[in-house]
Structure 1
Amino acid sequence: MEVNTVFIVLAGLVSLSEAMTTAAATYGCGKTAYTHAAANNGVLFAIDQTCYELIKTHHPWQRSEDDCVSRGGHLAHIENAQQQDRIFQVVTAYHGDNVWIGLNDKTTEETFEWSSGDAVTYTNWVADRLNPDFHYNEDCVAMSFKDQGKWEDVFCTLAHSYAYVCEYDAVAGVSMDHTTLLPAAALMSDGDSSLCPSHLATSTRHLLAQYEQSCYELLLSTSSWTRAETTCTHAGGKVLLIDNANEQNYIEGFLKRHHQTDSVWLDISDRNIEGTFETSAGTAPVYTNWKPNYFSANLHSREDCVAMFPTVNGTWDDISCTSSHHVVCEYGLATVMPGVIVLG
């Protein structure tokens, strides 16, 4: 069976692409899913007539299921290897860690069922999942990132809090106007560094990536915000400035691929006027991804520079400019070579 997968970027919502087109009706995610994803930096995608949302907030299994149910869905159920592969593709690109799915044996040990009530027609277990010491208390199933997406039954309790994938009925005939389709490979790789400024090719101080019309240089050392700005400017670039949710998700994936868990500086601060955030060019940022309740009444006046925190779902916080963090310098592409298509 051919699976028709549409990964979309719409109204600031990000997802993967590698869209497969068929003559069948177009299905997409409904307004409720879009509204939630927009408010929570979610990742929406559709497979056949089902809408999926990757939610990167960590919760225990039951709370995750309850959250999906609150919007008319359930934790994802998986019917075949094609669905498994597509879902794990998104998890790899945008999260890089374990996620809950709807399978569980909470009612009867070793009698697994989907929270949606669908029949179990496919499984993808890790080898030797039966742990004689804990198995009878491991009733909820997660997709294991380190095991290439294979399934593992684990404790349902607070000891295991993961991100999760909700599923909802898709909506037929959803307009795809203003939608940008991006190759999946572009989101899951470091791109083509030959498009980056030539002086970066000989440097050994960094990890390098190219995505759309930017090159990103992750420096292997840490520094203060001011030193980061000086370093990037002298090299012909600027401190990382994220312009949209698509770029936000790409940078999160880039950092995770290279096991970078420390915070990285952004080209945003309120050093000039407290509470008025601007870029080093003096313009207001066009996109933000603030950590909930980032404002600290006690320290806020001394926290003037902004960093992104990969371990907190990629959210941003303002912190002391003199603290030391990793640096990503951003550059424009060198010359776009004939035949090279840059999307964006």
Structure 2
Amino acid sequence: MTAAMAHPKLLLLLVLCTALLQHGDGRPSRSRKQAPGRQRADEEDMKAQIDKLWQEVNSLKEMQALQTVCLRGYKVHRKCYLAIEEPKHYHEANEDCIAQGGTLATPRDIQENNELREYAKRSSPGSKDFWIGVTDIVKEGQYVDVNSIPVTFFNWDKSKKQPTGGKRESCVTISLAAQGRWHDEVCRSQKKYICEYLIP
């Protein structure tokens, strides 16, 4: 569904919600007065219909927001990537991605890693590195993603003997200078970052 198609549906759903609220459910009544039980059942039915419509409106809004991100960023397989130019420390970067409905990008295999590197090079020429969603903050040497799930794919820069930082360097960047290899860094360093959005 395109963003242009989502707008009319949103408008139609909002009009229906408003009409239901103002005029009831649109069914003619046989008499002016209904039994209290029947009236309560009708009100509950109308409330259920309105709740369902609001769920559809919110779902369409989420899809539209995701499409906007994908238009600004890069779509690959079932993900969209969006590079953020304003440097932040790791935790701020992670919170910003979450606030936008995504997470810090986490490559799951060499193909994703290479696509992420190529996108980063195109979107921000001259940049050195970007935060990705991999850390060993909780337990030294046990790398997890932003959902605390153990990471099984690694692309460390072995020429620099990465990871090197011990407890001091617990957050991971993808280095464009090192052809997409990973470096561990001090989490409070200011870096650009890439958010990842899953496409349903």
Sort the TM-score into its range (normalised by shorter chain).
Answer: 0.5 to 0.7
Query: What do the CA deviations read for 1:34-82 (whole angstroms, capped 9, x no partner)?
Result: xxxxxxxxxxxxxxxxxxxxxxxxxxxxxxxxxxxxxxxxxxxxxxxxx
Q: Which residue of 2 aligns with 1:116?
A: none
Moved over 3 A (4+): 200-203
* Unmatched runs of 5 consecutive residues or more in structure 1: 1-195, 335-344
* Unmatched runs of 5 consecutive residues or more in structure 2: 1-61
**Which of 178, 184, 193 is residue 318 of structure 1 equivalent to?**
184
**What is the aligned length?**
135
Of Structure 1 and Structure 2, which has the larger fraction of its residues in strand? 1
AA paired with 1:307?
T
Query: What do the CA deviations read for 1:159-215 (whole angstroms, capped 9, x no partner)?
Result: xxxxxxxxxxxxxxxxxxxxxxxxxxxxxxxxxxxxx94225657xx9511001000
Q: Which TM-score applies when normalising by structure 2?
A: 0.62
AA paired with 1:273?
K
| Cα distance in structure 1, aligned partners of 2:63 and 2:92 | 21
Q: Which residue of 2 aligns with 1:327?
A: 193
**Which of 87, 111, 121 is residue 222 of structure 1 equivalent to?**
87
For the residue of structure 2 that corresponds to 1:271, the secondary structure is: coil
AA paired with 1:294?
Q
AA paired with 1:211?
V
Over aligned residue pairs, what C-alpha RMSD do you find?
2.0
Query: What do the CA deviations read for 1:134-161 (whole angstroms, capped 9, x no partner)?
Result: xxxxxxxxxxxxxxxxxxxxxxxxxxxx
Q: Which TM-score applies when normalising by structure 1?
A: 0.37
Answering whether residue 109 of structure 2 is matched by residue 244 of structure 1, we say yes
| Cα distance in structure 2, aligned partners of 1:236 and 1:313 | 28
Q: Which residue of 2 aligns with 1:172?
A: none
Does structure 1 conserve the Cα–Cα contact (< 8 Å) formed by 2:104 and 2:131?
A: yes
| Cα distance in structure 1, aligned partners of 2:64 and 2:107 | 23
For residues 163-312 of structure 1, what are the structure 2 equivalents within 5 Å? 197-199=63-65, 207-258=72-123, 259-292=125-158, 293-296=161-164, 299-312=165-178
**Range moving further from structure 2, 304-313 or 325-334:** 325-334
Query: What do the CA deviations read for 1:3-23 (whole angstroms, capped 9, x no partner)?
Result: xxxxxxxxxxxxxxxxxxxxx
| Cα distance in structure 1, aligned partners of 2:103 and 2:174 | 16
- Superposed displacement of residue 311, structure 1: 0.8
AA paired with 2:135?
S
Which of structures 1 and 2 has the larger relative contact order (alpha carbons within 8 angstroms, sep 6+)?
Answer: 2
For residues 92-131 of structure 1, what are the structure 2 equivalents within 5 Å? none
For the residue of structure 1 that corresponds to 2:139, the secondary structure is: coil
| Cα distance in structure 1, aligned partners of 2:66 and 2:128 | 23
Of Structure 1 and Structure 2, which has the larger fraction of its residues in helix? 2
AA paired with 2:150?
A
